[in-house]
Structure 1
């Protein structure tokens, strides 16, 4: 998979990251095709599972598990194998630019967390995991508020 394709694939994961806009965006979910919605939900379930495993691994000092699960999030494996060129076009027309920025940040945080796991740096793992969690909250409040109306923005 090319770097461009990986970047486009990771856009769907964006709904787990911090928003750069000052006001809540219009929810993205209604703009997605049925296939993109299904793939996004699959990916979110995978990320939710990995985040739970990372939390447990951090508090138990299982650094290799932190690294493996963070890398799995970074790689967005399911989506990299599932999007067609038309899916990519549909996705790009459904999501705002801020959503794309959030995706890039979230994946960078996951890559950094994988490195902190490899380095057995618990303090850095905690810091990065907390940022990733904040990104999830912010994205859910900005871009999927229709699915998560009870999530409030962390912005002041």
Structure 2
């Protein structure tokens, strides 16, 4: 239980900073004000992941499923924008292929989390949530300044 609470607080603290870091890179634009799909995905992910962590801690499989739903389709929009040059990575911008690979793996893990929630597999939900948080940290350390 103590580990779950620590995971929840760590995830919320990490994700609370996401929009501020992204806004700083994009000149403070909110997604509704014409900013790019990567920012939009990060803001949707922030809300979704906070809900996922709470739902996993509470063993609320339906909460996990509901939290993942808004993420569907965001990866494709981000990848399309990346390939057309509409977004740029703040650090290691020449490693777009690595970013795309990491993003695909992250979304694959989201899909596995959703499947685990549908099966009421709480142990795997916990494992995948940790894996997703590690994915956030790895991506941000590689591509954020």
CA distance in 2, matches of 1:91, 1:105: 22
User: Which residue is 1:139 aligned to?
Assistant: 139
Residues 116, 122 of structure 2: 8 Å contact kept: yes
Deviation at 1:72, TM superposition (A): 3.1
Q: Deviations over 1:103-131 (max 9, x none)?
A: 11011000000001111111000100100
TM-score by length of 2: 0.63
**2:57 maps to 1:59:** yes
**2:87 maps to 1:89:** no
TM-score by length of 1: 0.59
Task: State the structure with bigger RCO (CA 8 A, min sep 6), 1 or 2.
Answer: 1
**Aligned CA-pair RMSD:** 3.4
Structure 2 residues not aligned, in runs of 5+ = 1-23
Structure 1 residues not aligned, in runs of 5+ = 1-28, 147-156
CA distance in 2, matches of 1:132, 1:121: 16
CA distance in 1, matches of 2:114, 2:52: 10
User: Which residue is 1:43 aligned to?
Assistant: 41
User: Which residue is 2:127 aligned to?
Assistant: 127
Q: Deviations over 1:73-93 (max 9, x none)?
A: 34328x74x99x777411588
Residues 65, 117 of structure 2: 8 Å contact kept: yes
